[in-house]
Structure 1
Amino acid sequence: MRTGSEPTTARSPLRMRFWLSLWGLLWAAGSTAAFSLAGRPGWAAACGVLLLIVVVDLIVVVRHIRQGPHYQPGRDVPPYEPVHEDHEPGPRRTARPDD
């Protein structure tokens, strides 16, 4: 729902998320390899799971970046007034019991 208070120069956090995912990918891959070589299979498995999560996030981020911008209403579109529930309700229909 638009409220009219959206910033006019809002930017998507996808590029920042992309670079943070790359940073996490490097750390997770390096730590998985280091723990494997050090003989710590539990820590290596935990870092391997983290590596898989980072790879999936990176795939999602790249997919969203490639999709391009989505439609956002411009300045000429007026904000929508939120629906308030404090108005008088209309006549209610009630079910009549069979006589």
Structure 2
Amino acid sequence: MNRRDLGSGFEGRDAEKNRHDADTAQRPSAHRRGGRAELGAGSEPDLRIDGLLCSDQPTAHALTHAALVRPVREVARGQWVPAELTPAGTRALDLNSAA
């Protein structure tokens, strides 16, 4: 999956996969409410939710590479940091929920 596959609102993909991606993307938004998602610093950032490794790392990578999810600050390679939605990620979720 690459940036084109996700687009700005998860368009162009089947409805079930869009829901799954949107659900995965919502986890970092919980950072503002006490933190549920973390990204591991590296060339392919891994995603943990509630301390558990996300079982769909390709989606986690795609969300990061599409600039929909980001770390809240830069950290050294191999460290974990809280994740948050980017403004584009928030817009994509808003567009997806309106559909």
TM-score by length of 1: 0.29
TM-score by length of 2: 0.29
> For the pair shown, which has the larger CA radius of gyration, 1 or 2?
1
Question: Which of the two has greater helix per residue?
Answer: 1
Question: Which of the two has greater strand per residue?
Answer: 2
